[in-house]
Amino acid sequence: MQAQPGQRIRRVAPVVLLLALAVLAGCSLTGSGAAERRAALDRWQDGADAACRKANAGIAKRGWPASLVELDRLAVRAIADVREASTAIRRMPAPEGSERRVAAFVGSLEGLEPLMDRLSSSTEDLRAGKLEAFAPRLQAALAAVEDEARRLGLRHCAVNDEHVWVPDAIRAPVFAQRLATLDREIVERVRAIGEPASTRESASLNFERLGDVIAFAERGLSRLKPPTWAAREAGRYVDGLRELGSALDAASTELGEPILTPVEAAAAQAELDRAVRLERRRFKRLAGAIRAVPVLPERGGDDGESLGGDEIQEA
């Protein structure tokens, strides 16, 4: 007996309904699994952010190091804070489905470990040259931590440009100390030139020697990397040194001429006085912009090395 059209529809409908329910049930289960994985990742992120937030608060409360001595004291405590946070994060089981992302972040934290050991030993030695050379490596490692933290969606772990301000917090007292050492070397070289000149020829030679001292200072300063906030004043001070060098060269040339009129001599002296005042004024501005001060004895050639290079012999 052939089924009527209405009967066929009634027989097919339950089958379609069962299939649709099965599909919906599968979607519901899949959605539930994704939601659980998302919730697990959220909980992991909250735990990691809490550990980082605690470390950040401790470091911020102590403030910036204003000298190499303070850098050593604050670095030891900051390293302890970072290691405590890192240990807490590494002990947290990675949430299902996010294992690779979490492992990448944890790996970047582990990459900081040997650098923190080196930072601790360098600050303890109070050797400005070692710290200055070390800062770029620390900067690169912190940048890697920041990249992984952002990929993982963390809100308090290395998301505040630590790769910029942490090296700068090291560079500020280092730059202040090495700038003071350089300035001391400059003063010593100027004093070594000797007694005031008694003739035009000897005065011309003295100005030439002073020009060599300024060239020494310019080279020495170019080897120092200031913190970001003092970079502009460091550049202006270099320009001031160059102007002083030019004024010394001009004065040496004038005094070396066969005929020197009083007007020419006065003009050369006025330009030299202006350049000296400019150099001192910009030096003071640079020293103030560093936000750190030298505290160690100003020994020539920090770490046993002349800051200006070996090209210029002592005047």
Distance CA 177, CA 53 (A): 32
**pLDDT at residue 312, as a whole number:** 34
Find all residues with CB under 8 Å of 129, minimum gap 6, and list them.
178, 302, 303, 305
Average pLDDT, the chain: 84
Q: pLDDT for 174-187, tens place per residue? A: 999 999 988 898 88
Q: Which 3-state string (H, E, C) describes 148-200?
A: HHHHHCCCCCCCCCHHHHHHHHHHHHHHHHHHHHHHHHHHHHHHCCCCCCCCH
Express each pLDDT in 283-297 by its tens digit: 999 999 999 999 866
Asked whether the beta carbons of 68 and 126 are under 8 A apart, the reply is yes
What's residue 304's pLDDT? 43
Can you tell me the mean pLDDT for 23-42?
70
The Cβ of residue 222 has, within 10 Å, a number of other Cβ atoms equal to 13
**Nearest to residue 44, comparing CAs of 82, 88, 83, 104?**
88
First to last CA, the chain: 123
Q: Are 177 and 302 in contact (CB under 8 A)?
A: yes
Strands (E), the chain: none
Res. 12: pLDDT tops 90: no
| Amino acid in position 234 | A
**pLDDT score of 77:** 94
Q: Which secondary-structure segment (H or E) carries 240? A: helix 231-256
Neighbours of 58 (CB within 10 A): 16
What pLDDT is recorded for position 191? 85
Residue 2 in this model has a pLDDT that exceeds 60: no
Of all residues in the chain, the percent with pLDDT exceeding 90 is 56
Checking 103-109 for CB contacts under 8 A at 24+ apart, the result is 104/148, 104/151, 104/152, 105/48, 105/145, 105/148, 105/149, 105/151, 105/152, 105/154, 105/157, 107/148, 108/141, 108/144, 108/145, 108/147, 108/148, 108/149, 109/145
Residue 227: is its pLDDT beyond 70? yes
pLDDT for 24 beyond 50? no
DSSP 224: -
Most confident of 88-102, 118-132, 301-315: 88-102
Give the count of beta carbons closer than 10 Å to the beta carbon of residue 145.
Answer: 22
Q: Is 247 in contact with 223 (CB distance < 8 Å)?
A: no
CA distances from 151 to 45, 103, 104, 143, 146 (A): 12, 12, 9, 13, 9
- Identify the band that residue 120 occupies on the pLDDT scale cut at 50, 70 and 90: confident
CA distances from 157 to 56, 115, 160 (A): 9, 18, 8
Q: Which residue has the tokens 């990249």?
A: 147
> Which pLDDT score, from 0 to 100, does residue 187 have?
87
Q: Give the rounded distance of the alpha carbon of 278 from its chain centre.
A: 29
Rounded Cα distance, 162 and 82, in Å: 12
* Residue 313 pLDDT level (bands cut at 50, 70, 90): very low
Structure tokens at 4: 């009527």
* Mean pLDDT calculated for residue range 144-152: 95
Mean pLDDT of 104-124: 91
